[in-house]
Amino acid sequence: MNILAIQSTGKETSICLIFENELLSFKNEHNIKDRPDWNYFLSQVGIDKLCSLDDINLFVFGNVEASFTATRSVISFLKGICSALNKPLASYDNYESEIEIFDIAKHFYNIQTKLNLDLDEYKPENIIPEYKSENNFKKINE
């Protein structure tokens, strides 16, 4: 089971690759409004050197409730890849944002190893992040 997982809190983005039972991870701090360079992150864990994106069996993102915009950036990136490659995409609800990306990747790796999940259930078009706390957005012109 080869897994690629990505999580961003807005100030920090991390990526983890589990490929052929090896775990490689990378984390980078950045300004809150900076968009991560996805090619740079992928190269830091060996994509295009160890393996290609097509070799990944499951893509995962950390759904960080405290980072609305950063999470959507990650989802948009992964949905595009998964849709193009016809690969499954899973979400890990990380309401505490203290869980490291390699723990999220290992979580799915262990579940898949023990339970042999039906990856067809993880269609990228079904991924819509939900948050347990209510949003307090102001409506314009009211």
Write the CATH number for 12. Answer: 3.30.420.40
Asked if pLDDT for residue 139 goes beyond 80, the answer is: no
The domain in which residue 65 lies consists of: 3-126
Residue 138 lies in a domain: no
Separation between Cα atoms, residue 12 and residue 32, nearest integer Å: 8
Contact 59, 81 (CB under 8 A): yes
Asked if pLDDT for residue 107 goes beyond 80, the answer is: yes
Taking residues 1-16, what's their average pLDDT? 92
pTM of the model: 0.84
Give me the pLDDT at residue 10, please: 77
Residue 142 lies in a domain: no
Q: Domains in the chain: how many in total?
A: 1
Taking residues 39-54, what's their average pLDDT? 96
Task: Tell me how far the alpha carbon of residue 115 is from its chain's centroid.
Answer: 21
Give me the pLDDT at residue 44, please: 96
Residue 136 lies in a domain: no
